[in-house]
Amino acid sequence: MDALLNVNEGFPLLSFLIFFPLAGAVVLFFYSEEKFARLWTLLITTLEAIFSIPLLIGFDSGTAKYQFAEAHAWVPQWNINYILGVDGISILLVMLSTLIMPFCVLASWKYIKKRVTQFMFCLLIMQVSMVGLFVALDFILFWVFWEFMLIPMYLLIAVWGGPRKDYASIKFFLYTMAGSVFLLVAILALYVKNGSFFIPDMMWQNYSTTFQVLVFLAFFLAFAIKVPMFPLHTWLPAAHVEAPTAGSVILASVLLKMGTYGMLRFCIPITPDATFMLAPFILWLSIAGIIYGGFTALAQSDMKKLIAYSSVGHMGFVTLGIFVLNTRGIEGSIIQMINHGVTTGALFLCVGMIYERTHSRELSVAQGCGKVMPWYATFLGLFCLSSFGFPGTNSFIGEFMILAGTFEYSTGLALAAIPGAVLAAAYMLRMLQKLLYGTENNPDQSHLKDLSIREITVLAPFALFVFWIGLGPQPFVDLIHTSVANLLDQLHNWQQVQGVAQVLLQ
Amino acid sequence: MDPVSTTANIVENSTLGLAVMIPLFGALVVMTLKNNVNLREAVSFCASVLLFCIVLSFIPAIREGKTLVYTVFNLLPGLSITLRADGFSMIFAMVASSLWMIAVFYSLGYMRAHDEPCQTRFNACFALAIFGAIGVALSDNLFTLYLFYEIVSVCTYPLVAHHQDEEGYSGARKYIVYLTTTAKMFLLPALILIYVLVGNLDFPHDMHTGMFPADTKSWVIVMLYVFCILGFAKNGLMPLHHWLPGAMVAPTPVSALLHAVAVVKVGVFCTTRTMLYVFGVDTMSMLNLGIPTAYFVGFTIIMASVIALTKDNLKARLAYSTVSQLAYIILGVALLTPHGIEGGLIHIVNHAFSKITLFFCAGAIYIAAHKKLISEMGGLGRTMPFTFGAFAIASLSMIGVPPVAGFVSKWYLLVGSMEAHQVGILLILITSTVLNVAYFAPVTYKAFFGKRPEGEVDAGIKEAPLTMLIPILIAATISVIIGIYPNFMMQFVKAVTG
């Protein structure tokens, strides 16, 4: 075990990042005044973001080991342990989930008017489970966080959601639960084989092909629902439309990434043979999702639905990049996960800001608002361009790397994904045109106020990351490169060993 | 050229970054000057003069055979935003920067005389379009080219939709749909596939070798070539030319900018840059890509001229004339002979000055007489002698009559087609010249010698205001000067062909 872990002897940073928001949430039990709750949550999430920066500074991008690792016994009789660690695959996702939270709090400042304290409590609990999930190295611990996260998210939609919140929240809950059940079965099956819940122990083991395929399918179902991959995506538009802004942002930026993170972390190394066997199907499923998401987004008149369907398309690119199984593809996927978090998160914030003003998400109600809100128009324009992969912005880099990886894998497959990029431009420009210009008969928008300082503060960091990743992605790629290279090395070794074994058997 | 001397001639020069920043910065300043219109126009004008001076400052180094480069951002290995000034980029950089000065002056006259709304946005987007055009001219690799190409598409959208009426929106929608769809559909995969094959996207430093390693499969190169020709839809090649007449709804200075400087020239510049520097003359002749391309664009030349004949709206006729003239440029390069390439590239310059004159005239006629249709312009030349005089000169250039600029390009194109032993191309060029006469001559003839439409009173129509007339005359004069002294611009073209 130690060969894989760079055990952290000093301050247990990862545990701190998990339990600090929990402690913050407990305080809200005792002081539940609304104004205090807002400020307190902002403080806690900001501190959490600041405390996560040492993680980035101390991260050694030269090794594929799990760093900042902590290992303690938890339930020794079943060999369940409390093991944490980050590597190149998870580091950016951890950073994304800590950095995005203060902005979610700021975005809910005026939006949430009832049960403010409880809302803030839910946000803090979300924070706990998001960080925990990405750093957990014990499968039971991972599963606990995976399930734990459902509850605050369910509440965010069911309590503070829109008119169809009951439908949306229950659909979200049922879909994700259905996936988790299979996930648990797969975890237990792996435990029976290995006698350990330590995730790296389960990787690269000689399971039979049938076993691998079954485990893979169980994993895949759970993760594909979370991503969501076509045709398991139908919970997403409903959840996005009804969720409050902060809920949508968390959902889009972090929760969806848990699915693709799971595919990278579990599917490939635990069930490599099944991965090779089933990858072609998943690739074409991704293409279907990209095209389907694009066409559906093009037909929406509700802005949140539009962005929700665009997520289906964008996440299709991410799964495409993962399952071409080469360096460019997988690195592109991880970068694209971050990009999607930044851009789509920002787009949901933008929609939320319009909703606070017009109390509608319909394009026809908001059309032409750009004329009286120049700052809003600037930010929205930037994020829309970023979303459809305008060169020089973050998503371009992600799509570029993923498509380069796909071209290495198969020219036909890559060409099949291209219409998705065209559709992305089409629906984003359509939305932009409607909001900035509209038609000759726009509703009177003169009463709308342009963005406040608070709102500009919320959007500006997202804009910074759009350009930062868009114009200087190399430092981000360097962070993840060693881990991805290690994963692929092992995968190719595995393939060779299996090839030799096949020959020997014959 | 041996590699040692090539690298010795590459000079790092950060002024290139400044050249690109000036229009961008100008646009940002213009946006803040909504309430001070005179200052706003002054800023635009100063920026254009500054840009022109900076572009001029590159000339000595280019004359010495040097290539200036400047890396702005390094994104990934082999993927960077890098600027370059060589002979080829100077052709377009000179055109874009000098015409910006003239266009700023003209649009000031037009927009104020016509009392157009949203002039701040107009000025800012105008500067942004030039930002894109200069960036395209100075790009050192395919990614930078693509980046600025897309910037031009997006930044000219508000210009096309300027009037914000149903007609404006539908024209602008067509415009953006054609341009972004083709770019995403063809250019993006071509870009990525070339990156996968070659490992970088940097243009080589001469037009012969191209980028591809020797073992690249020929069907892949042919596919990429087709993608690149179709992807740069701003080049107006049929059948992807419909956006261009659609964009005619924009105010005339925009049409002038679109047709002479920013948009279509960006399209042909990108097309020819990729033909010569991505694929290279050697690869293209080896795979026999040149002559089929020449015939393919030859079809556009003839068809567009025939359509132009049928148009009574002056701007629409000019639009189809542009479609046809742009194809000349690509045709010249596709001949792959030195004279053909020179003829094609010099036509970028010649067409720019002549076509901007024609559009300026169309705008002046509209402002002074409120007329768009050619059939109503009978006798108008007698009241607006300067405007129609300039129009006549510029149409002579389009037809290719000495000593106006267009003659030079047509001469080289004809020589090039003979060098390539292509009688068919020669016939296309001659036929199109006849068609040019057929659709340009009647306009001038009617204006000077035709009758006034019946029942129209003379009073009220005067020559266009001076702020418009001066740029028209300058542009017309330059058209003549570069016809008589073509060598100033030819030196850059010769630097390309060696």
Nearest-Cα residue of chain A relative to residue B148? A391
Rounded Cα distance between A261 and B27, Å, is 42
pLDDT, one tens digit per residue, over B382-427 is 888 888 899 999 999 988 888 888 888 899 999 999 988 889 999 9
| Contact by Cβ (8 Å): B478, B383 | no
3-state secondary structure A315-347: HHHHHHHHHCCCHHHHHHHHHHHHHHHHHHHHH
- A254-287 b/e (C-beta count within 10 Å ≥ 16 → b): bbbbbbbbbbbbbbbbbbbbbbbebbeebbebbb
pLDDT of residue B270: 93
Rounded Cα distance between B167 and B172, Å, is 8
B147 touches chain A (CB under 8 A): yes
Nearest to A465 by CA among A348, A339, A345: A339
Rounded Cα distance between B292 and B286, Å, is 13
Measure A127 CA to nearest chain B CA, in Å: 32
For residue A162, the 8-state DSSP code is: -
pLDDT of residue A99: 92
Measure B183 CA to nearest chain A CA, in Å: 9
Cβ-based contacts of B79 with chain A (< 8 Å):
400
Measure B256 CA to nearest chain A CA, in Å: 24
Cβ-based contacts of A391 with chain B (< 8 Å):
143, 146-147, 150
Rounded Cα distance between A367 and B3, Å, is 57
Nearest beta carbon to residue B169 from set A403, A421, A437:
A437
Count of CB contacts below 8 A, A vs B? 74
Cβ-based contacts of A385 with chain B (< 8 Å):
154
When pLDDT is averaged across residues B241-261 and rounded to a whole number, the result is 80
Nearest-Cα residue of chain B relative to residue A418? B185
Nearest beta carbon to residue A404 from set B150, B184, B196:
B196
Beta carbons of B192 and A414 less than 8 Å apart: yes
pLDDT of residue B457: 62
B219 touches chain A (CB under 8 A): no
Nearest-Cα residue of chain A relative to residue B32? A374
Beta carbons of B76 and A397 less than 8 Å apart: yes
Cβ-based contacts of A397 with chain B (< 8 Å):
75-76
Rounded Cα distance between B406 and B398, Å, is 6
| Contact by Cβ (8 Å): B477, B390 | no
Cβ-based contacts of A469 with chain B (< 8 Å):
none
Least confident of A323-337, A492-506, B308-322, B470-484: A492-506
- When the pLDDT of each residue in chain B is averaged and rounded to a whole number, the result is 87
pLDDT, one tens digit per residue, over A115-156 is 888 889 999 999 999 999 999 999 899 999 998 888 899 998
B81 touches chain A (CB under 8 A): yes
Q: How confident is the model at residue A2 (pLDDT cuts 50, 70, 90)?
A: low
Query: Residue B386: is it exposed, middle or buried by C-beta count within 10 angstroms (0-12/13-18/19+)?
Result: middle
Query: Residue A299: is it exposed, middle or buried by C-beta count within 10 angstroms (0-12/13-18/19+)?
Result: exposed
Rounded Cα distance between B464 and B466, Å, is 7
pLDDT, one tens digit per residue, over B430-469 is 999 999 999 888 888 888 888 777 666 665 677 778 888 8
Rounded Cα distance between A89 and A66, Å, is 10
Residue B377: both structure tokens together? 């312009």
Beta-sheet pairing, B10-12 with B67-76: parallel
B83: β partners: B70, B139
Q: How confident is the model at residue B5 (pLDDT cuts 50, 70, 90)?
A: very low
Nearest to A312 by CA among A406, A162, A423, A445: A423
Q: Please state whether the predicted TM-score (pTM) of the whole model is above 0.90.
A: yes
Nearest to A358 by CA among A430, A250, A435: A435
Q: How many Å separate Cα B357 from the centre of its chain?
A: 13
pLDDT of residue B63: 85
Beta carbons of A471 and B75 less than 8 Å apart: yes
pLDDT of residue A295 exceeding 90: yes
Cβ-based contacts of B173 with chain A (< 8 Å):
433
Nearest to A347 by CA among A384, A313, A295: A384
Beta carbons of B181 and A422 less than 8 Å apart: yes
pLDDT, one tens digit per residue, over B38-67 is 888 888 889 999 999 999 999 888 888 888
pLDDT of residue A46 exceeding 90: yes
Least confident of A31-40, A58-67, A150-159, B111-120: B111-120
Three-class SS state of A300:
coil
Rounded Cα distance between A256 and A238, Å, is 14
pLDDT of residue B62: 86
Cβ-based contacts of B192 with chain A (< 8 Å):
400, 403-404, 407, 414
Q: Which of residues 304-333 of B touch A (CB under 8 A)?
A: none
Rounded Cα distance between A366 and A381, Å, is 15
Nearest beta carbon to residue B196 from set A408, A425, A429:
A408
Beta carbons of A414 and B184 less than 8 Å apart: no
Nearest beta carbon to residue A414 from set B147, B166, B189:
B189
pLDDT of residue B459: 59
Cβ-based contacts of A439 with chain B (< 8 Å):
166, 169
Beta carbons of A407 and B193 less than 8 Å apart: yes
Measure A468 CA to nearest chain B CA, in Å: 10
Rounded Cα distance between A71 and A197, Å, is 13
A84: β partners: A70, A136
Beta carbons of A391 and B195 less than 8 Å apart: no
pLDDT, one tens digit per residue, over B140-185 is 999 999 999 999 988 888 888 887 888 888 888 888 889 899 999 9
pLDDT of residue B190: 93
Measure A420 CA to nearest chain B CA, in Å: 9
pLDDT of residue B7: 56
pLDDT, one tens digit per residue, over B284-297 is 888 888 899 999 99
When pLDDT is averaged across residues A275-289 and rounded to a whole number, the result is 92
pLDDT of residue A497: 84
Cβ-based contacts of B189 with chain A (< 8 Å):
403, 407, 414-415, 418
Three-class SS state of B268:
helix
| Contact by Cβ (8 Å): B237, B297 | yes
Query: Residue B29: is it exposed, middle or buried by C-beta count within 10 angstroms (0-12/13-18/19+)?
Result: middle
Cβ-based contacts of B169 with chain A (< 8 Å):
433, 437, 439-440
Measure B27 CA to nearest chain A CA, in Å: 14
Residues 6+ apart with CB under 8 A from A130: A97, A149, A250, A254, A255
pLDDT of residue A346 exceeding 90: yes
Residue A440: both structure tokens together? 């000759």
pLDDT, one tens digit per residue, over A331-340 is 999 999 999 9
pLDDT of residue B117 exceeding 80: no
Best residue in A384, A390, A394, A445 to probe B by mutation, most B CBs within 10 Å?
Answer: A390
pLDDT of residue B251: 82
When pLDDT is averaged across residues A430-442 and rounded to a whole number, the result is 84
Of all helices (H) and strands (E), which one includes residue B71?
Answer: strand B67-76
Measure B5 CA to nearest chain A CA, in Å: 32
When pLDDT is averaged across residues B302-327 and rounded to a whole number, the result is 89
Least confident of A152-166, A264-278, B250-264: B250-264
| Contact by Cβ (8 Å): A309, A379 | no
pLDDT of residue B2 exceeding 50: no
Measure B103 CA to nearest chain A CA, in Å: 26
Instruction: Give the rounded percent of residues in chain B with a pLDDT score beyond 70.
Output: 96
Nearest-Cα residue of chain B relative to residue A426? B177
Amino acid of residue B50: L
Cβ-based contacts of A427 with chain B (< 8 Å):
none
pLDDT of residue B1: 40
Measure B172 CA to nearest chain A CA, in Å: 10
Beta-sheet pairing, B10-12 with B79-85: unpaired
pLDDT of residue B6 exceeding 60: no
pLDDT, one tens digit per residue, over B350-381 is 888 888 899 888 888 888 888 888 888 878 88
A72: β partners: A82
A138: β partners: A198
pLDDT of residue A1: 58
Cβ-based contacts of A472 with chain B (< 8 Å):
73-75
| Contact by Cβ (8 Å): A14, A86 | yes
pLDDT of residue B456: 65
Rounded Cα distance between A133 and B249, Å, is 56
Rounded Cα distance between A53 and A304, Å, is 32
B286 touches chain A (CB under 8 A): no
Nearest beta carbon to residue A473 from set B76, B193, B195:
B76
When pLDDT is averaged across residues B241-262 and rounded to a whole number, the result is 80
Is the backbone of residue B397 left (phi > 0), alpha (psi -120 to 50) or beta? alpha
Alpha helices in A136-164 (DSSP H): 139-148, 150-160
Residue B265: both structure tokens together? 């020239």
Three-class SS state of B75:
strand
pLDDT of residue B133 exceeding 60: yes
Rounded Cα distance between A485 and B88, Å, is 41
| Contact by Cβ (8 Å): A322, A329 | yes
Beta carbons of A422 and B185 less than 8 Å apart: yes
Beta carbons of A404 and B146 less than 8 Å apart: no
pLDDT of residue A396: 92
Of all helices (H) and strands (E), which one includes residue B306?
Answer: helix B290-310
Rounded Cα distance between A432 and A385, Å, is 9
Residues of A with CB under 8 A from a CB of B: 385, 390-392, 397, 400-401, 403-404, 407-408, 411, 414-415, 418-419, 421-422, 425-426, 429, 433, 437, 439-440, 471-474, 477
pLDDT, one tens digit per residue, over A69-128 is 888 888 888 888 899 999 889 999 999 999 999 998 988 888 888 888 888 999 999 999
B75 touches chain A (CB under 8 A): yes
Measure A297 CA to nearest chain B CA, in Å: 16
pLDDT of residue B3 exceeding 50: no
- When the pLDDT of each residue in chain A is averaged and rounded to a whole number, the result is 89
Nearest beta carbon to residue A390 from set B75, B150, B161:
B150
For residue A267, the 8-state DSSP code is: I
Nearest to B277 by CA among B151, B89, B80, B131: B89
